[in-house]
Structure 1
């Protein structure tokens, strides 16, 4: 397995303009971007599906629906990943979108020949977002590198078996 350490960038002003441009949000109040060097090859959509699956797991449900109040789809669909609506796809990237009554969120997965990246973009629409996300972002930033490494391991294992699987 050829996986390096994830490199992160936090803060809207620190992200390269091409990365920020992948968000659909009219205003970005929080942004981070994690890049993991890896030889595991897959489309951005496959990376997203391996990372998050077709349905959110119990922890994701607690964080996304419970704490953040995100309105996620409840049925498995080609138009969703773990309940997040696929907002747009491009060459080497996919954007997942969700909203709650107090914030809007985009997850952007990018895949190149030698790395995978996950960007998180939030727009705070009401005061609870300003209060909830800063402490939750600490947990988020601790979890994302593991999510990327685990997905890379799964994709590499699938390649070794000659097959394709989800989470």
Structure 2
């Protein structure tokens, strides 16, 4: 590990990410109605507004999530994603809507429909995953992935914050 990687790992280890049991109403209103699964991870920071939500999403999903994310989304969850560099998309997910404080990405496939929301406020960088099962099998597939997702999502937020840097 070179010095840059070591500093980044040390920086990431000191960042606090919490999984929110009850998603704040202002965030819940931005995601799909009545999802079969929804979770919200929040990185505590006063620097979230230092860059637009689309940049946070691109670094998190394209750069940090990379090939591993693509494999899970496409091969395991069966999502039909555009090419990673397609206009109007982030990591193949369609940009459904965005404002200066949030971006909502959507994708669907034969098994599930999903949304990823990146939301910024004065104290948090939030990442929301919302899923609607399109087949009964989806509950079993997601059930097998949920623990992995719960471990990876906080790391994804930390690594994204380090990659972009405070006060970007």
Task: Classify the TM-score, shorter chain.
Answer: 0.7 to 0.9
Deviation at 1:75, TM superposition (A): 5.0
Deviation at 1:158, TM superposition (A): 8.5
Could you tell me the TM-score, scaled by structure 1's length? 0.83
Could you tell me the TM-score, scaled by structure 2's length? 0.83
Aligned to 1:63: 72
Three-state SS of the structure 1 residue aligned to 2:87 is coil
Residues 36-94 of structure 1, C-alpha deviation per residue, up to 9 Å, x if partnerless? 01244211111101111279622112210010000000251330000000011124000
Report the structure, 1 or 2, having the larger helix content. Answer: 2
Q: How many residues align?
A: 155
Cα separation, 2, equivalents of 1:27 and 1:123: 8
Cα separation, 2, equivalents of 1:158 and 1:91: 16
Q: Is the 8 A contact 2:115 2:130 kept in 1?
A: yes
Deviation at 1:9, TM superposition (A): 2.1
Cα distance change, pair 29–88 in 1 and its aligned pair in 2 (3 A)? same
Structure 2: gaps of 5 or more residues: 1-10
> Superposed, which structure 2 residues align to 1:7-46 within 5 Å?
7-10=18-21, 14-23=22-31, 25-40=32-47, 41-46=50-55
Structure 1: gaps of 5 or more residues: 160-167
Aligned to 2:4: none
Equivalent in 125, 136, 142 of residue 133 of structure 1: 142
Cα distance change, pair 89–72 in 1 and its aligned pair in 2 (3 A)? same
